[in-house]
Amino acid sequence: MKVLGVSGSLRSDSHNTCLLRAAAELAPDGVELEIWDGLRDIPPYDEDGDVEPAPPAVAALRAALAGADAVLFATPEYNSSIPGQLKNALDWASRPLGTNVLRNMPVAVVGASTGMFGAVWAQAELRKVLGAMGARVVDGEVAVGHAPTRLDAERGLADAELRERLADVIADLCAAVRVRAEAVAA
């Protein structure tokens, strides 16, 4: 099973990308979590430019999503919402609306912020956007507040309770993939 990890942060030392690396370590046997790194290259959404062939970076995004069984998003919170570049990428991914690559795909959302709440508002916004696109948004939240004290490149996600919650979210995401596969096979 292949899970694509999408970080909403472009920052080289991003806590959210670090959270995805922790998720990759916690993925069950047989589940590969690959972190997508093309967010920076996505051009501003332009409906005039949303034609075939798509801009190369957008085609790569759509292919990466289509090649996954599920997607795990880790988002920072910018001014109580999701980062503009993440929303921009999702606007590209959402077209064509009826057949977009995330339609019916299991997705889950986690997040980290330097504030105390762990990007909960951004996570809620992201779940709303993904739901509007037709993705199957799995319940479950991991909100890493005060991220610099809990996440770093050397130790990863040190907090045992947060690790357990993150493992639960990944397990639920994988379960949703199996349910979808069974429904398709039936």
Q: How many distinct helices (H) and strands (E) make up the chain?
A: 6, 8
100 is a contact residue toward ligand FMN (CB under 6 A):
no
**Distance, CA of 91 to CA of 101 (rounded, Å):** 12
- Footprint (CB under 6 A) of ligand FMN, residues 23-52: none
The answer to the question of residue 123 lying near ligand FMN (CB under 6 A) is: no
- CB closer to ligand FMN out of 66 and 153: 153
Residue 179 to residue 14: CA distance in whole angstroms: 33
**Smallest distance from the beta carbon of 137 to ligand FMN, in angstroms?**
21
**Please, are residues 17 and 74 in contact by the beta-carbon 8 Å criterion?**
yes
Least CB distance to ligand FMN at residue 28 (A): 25
The CA-atom distances, in angstroms, between 148 and each of 4, 118, 155, 161, 183 are 24, 11, 11, 16, 42
Q: Does 115 bind ligand FMN (CB under 6 A)?
A: yes
| Contact between 12 and ligand FMN per CB under 6 A | no
Beta strands 156-157; 151-152: pairing state? antiparallel
Least distance between ligand FMN and beta carbon 2 (Å): 23
Please report whether residue 125 would count as binding ligand FMN according to CB under 6 A: no
| 103's tokens | 């339609």
Candidate residues 39, 61, 106, 113; the one interacting with ligand FMN per rule CB under 6 A? 113
Dist CA 137 CA 105 (whole Å)? 8
Choose among 49, 50, 67: nearest CA to 4. 67
Would you count residue 11 as binding ligand FMN (CB under 6 A)? yes
3-state secondary structure of 138: coil
**Is residue 14 near ligand FMN by the rule CB under 6 A?**
yes
Smaller CB distance to ligand FMN: residue 6 or 135? 6
Q: Which residues bind ligand FMN (CB under 6 A)?
A: 9, 11, 14-16, 76-80, 112-115, 117, 119, 147
